[in-house]
Structure 1
Amino acid sequence: MGHSKFDDASRERAAWNAGKHVGTKRPLTQKQIWAIRFFLDRERRIRDRALFDLAIDSKLRGCDLVKIRIRDVVAGPEIRARAIVVQQKTGRPVQFEITSDVRASMLAWLERRGGTVEDYAFPSRIDHAHHMSTRQYARLVDEWVTAIGLRQEEYGTHSLRRTKASMIYKATGNIRAIQILLGHSKIENTVRYLGVDVEDALLLAEQTEI
């Protein structure tokens, strides 16, 4: 239960971010991605594997990821190769790809999950009529990264959102493409999000011969 700012107890409570690393969360590397997948497969956590895979591919914020309905990712008996959702933060639609391995893990989960196309893909553990909370999703991410020896202070749900975007940027240097994939309204937001700095810009320039 929450506390009012007028409660005596609230005056004794530490700030929510006291002692926490609240800066930009690190993206995962390819090796770390496969380490988490191995852990989830070994533990037979079908739901978590599907959630993790979709988080990487979709590049969605946690608040949008947990609200995905089955209809958003299925077309008839198959998982879509591309999907589209409207972002809560911006109200703008954003498209994302669902690659073959991710379609396989999603299909395995949805076959186990059952339900109708109107149901949430990842239901709440308390009330299956509602979606998983962002808090629960964050706890799961903490558990996954800790399981492979990473510091949870340095990683979080935004790590999963940033991972594929960072990989694409490093491979192509195409910030405009990343802006579209992340659904940012301004390219300046994408620049800050990726941590692009003068050094990155100079390296790209040096690699371009005219």
Structure 2
Amino acid sequence: MISPGLTDALGRWLDGLAAMGGAAENTRTAYRADVLSWLAFLQGHLDEGGGTNMIAAVGLSDMRAWMAHERGRGLGARSLARALSSVKGFTRYLAEREGFDPTAILSTRAPKFQKKLPRPLDPDAARAMIDTVELQSDEAWIASRDMAVVTLLYGCGLRISEALRLTGADHPLPDALLIHGKGGKERQVPVLDAARAAVSAYFALCPYDLPADGPLFRGAKGGALNPRLVAKVMERARLQLGLPSTATPHAMRHSFATHLLEAGGDLRAIQELLGHASLSTTQAYTAVDTARLLEVYSKAHPRA
């Protein structure tokens, strides 16, 4: 059993992350699960009580044994790297307060994994997706709603959670939306006329009151729209269009960024529009752009 002291310390660490705006609720839930799983393994592996002394006694071989155990139960390299990051964050916090040497844990190397590159749609497919999504419902207001949401994903580069966080106060859409993204990070996103028109059309057709303090996008029964419904309507549309399974709501955001880059957009500006904390995250789109150019080259070049 994990000691009350460690349990309390874990709670304080997570509360601190929330207070600093560095991790959303879902992220903190994942961190908590990662650390508790690690502590449970250590307790059996080291055959010690679940207190601070147990963590202070951890060596590099113990960390390797934990990683091997996690891989053995089917955890992928990407997930294991995230779990190790959670463990290191908590250990760093605890060591500063308890005064032990965390070097063995902090020096543990994360497993290497192939970063998945974004899979954008080409411009014609993105436009076709928006048009086809509108055809998936016989109810005019729902069809208009789905088109408005997907237009925001592609036209403004919003995450689905960001689009569904808009309220009645955001209508009519301004020239620039103030978006609260991951970790409480704020950014200004320019609004295209097409996105403004799509949202206005939905607003006019929606049978429910849309007060300033309530969600802008509603489900069939009037509650907040569930993001899974957006994913499902896009799935039906992509099947009709013959698009790959990667044509998801998040792919519309990827498409927004990739098409801006292809049009000569500045990488730093695109970083700001997407709300990426690190430029390295945005730089993944340069790899996509290069990969696409190489594909075109290999098909079209006379010597290819």
Q: TM-score, normalised by structure 2?
A: 0.51
Change (3 A) 1:189 1:53: same
Find the counterpart in structure 1 of residue 154 from structure 2.
56
Instruction: Please say which structure displays the higher CA radius of gyration.
Output: 2
1:1-210 to 2 correspondences below 5 Å = 23-42=116-135, 44=140, 45-72=143-170, 74=171, 78-87=172-181, 89-113=182-206, 114-126=209-221, 128-129=222-223, 131-152=224-245, 154-172=246-264, 174-192=266-284, 194-196=285-287
Query: Identity rate of aligned residues, in percent?
Result: 21
Distance apart, 1:26 and its partner CA: 1.8
Closer, same or farther in 2 for the Cα pair 1:198/1:182, shift >3 Å? closer
More helix by share: 2
Name the SS of the counterpart of 1:110 in structure 2.
helix
**Unpaired runs of at least 5, structure 2:** 1-73, 77-114, 295-304
Cα offset, 1:143, TM superposition: 2.0
The structure with higher relative contact order (CA 8 Å, sep 6+) is 1
**What is the SS of the residue equivalent to 2:287?**
coil
Q: Which runs of 5+ in 1 are unaligned?
A: 1-14, 204-210
- What is the aligned length? 173
RMSD of aligned residue pairs (Cα, Å):
2.8
Amino acid at match of 1:82: A
